Amino acid sequence: MTNTSARFLIVGPQGSGKGTQGVRIAESFGIPVVSTGDIFRANIKEGTDLGKKVQAITAAGNLVSDELTGELVRDRLAQNDAQPGFLLDGYPRNRAQVAHLDEFLAGRGEELDAVIELDVPRAESIERLSLRAQEQGRADDTDEAIAHRLDIYERETAPILAVYGEKGIVDKIDGVGSLDEITARIMDALAARGFTPATA
């Protein structure tokens, strides 16, 4: 059985490589990556009303609210290129956002088809992020900041996997290995669910 839609979510701690893997999977299936970070930056760059709101919030060092984040994501998912499917990265990141997303998709007669969980040990995430900080000179990637972000992931985002796990749509993927090895594991898991890439 081949599924005609491809509505995916990729979840993993910082340093798990989900951004890189998300792009690879989306390109294979011919669907857009819907990343909250990218949406925020695009709206700020274009000077939209939503972008101005986001810029004011982030400039003050605050997190964008669930309501505003949801508004931005819904606006992006309503665009034509996201109709055949999409890969979400960075949203939903807590249970409240899961409820918002489920409600929005249900209103379109849709639901998520698969949730890809990249499983990476905490020590591995810290090592990767520390290395990235050295290579890119990122002052915000201190050991304390990295640990704080991983704490937030474990406290707020990891619990959404239980919600989707109850629906039987989570595929836990070993996120340690080469990029190609990890991509192959993801593609195998999706193929087992009946999803075949547009570009074989």
Catalytic annotation, residues: 18, 93, 132, 138, 149
Contacts of residues 99-104 at CB distance under 8 Å and 24 or more positions apart, as own/partner, are 100/66, 100/70, 101/70, 101/73, 104/70, 104/74, 104/77
Two structure tokens written together for 131: 């290395």
φ/ψ of 164, rounded to 5, equals -75, -30
Dist CA 141 CA 97 (whole Å):
26
